Amino acid sequence: MTRHIETVKGHRLPAPRLTRTAWRLIVLLLILPFLLFLGALDLVFYAIAHYAFEHCYGIECWL
C-alpha cells in the first residue's frame, strides 16, 4: 500500500503525528495514574504479607 502525499494549494503536508503536548497528556493522564495504582497495590500486598503473615517481603529480606 503506497501512501498518497496530500497537498493543499500546492504545498506538501507532513504526515499527522503526536505533538509534545499530546505525549505529556498521555503520560500525565494514562501512565502516571497506572504507576501510582501499581505502587499503592504493592504497598497493600506488603502490609498484608508483613503484618498479617509476618513474612519478609521485598528487597529488605536480602539485606
> Would you write out the chain's pLDDT as a tens digit for each of its 63 residues?
566 777 888 888 888 889 999 999 999 999 999 999 999 999 898 888 888 888 776 677 776
Count CB neighbours of 45 within 10 A.
12
For residue 44, give its domain range: 7-61
* Cβ neighbours, 10 Å, residue 46: 13
pLDDT given for residue 33 in this prediction: 96
Q: For the whole model, what pTM was predicted?
A: 0.63
Asked if 49 and 57 touch (Cβ cutoff 8 Å), the reply is: yes
- Provide the pLDDT for residue 2: 60
Domain-located, residue 52:
yes
Whether 2 is covered by a domain: the verdict is no
- Backbone phi, then psi, for 12, in 5-degree steps? -80, 135
- In three-state secondary structure terms, 49 is helix
How many domains, in total, are found in the chain?
A: 1
Please check whether residue 45 is in contact with residue 57, taking contact to mean a CB–CB distance below 8 angstroms: yes
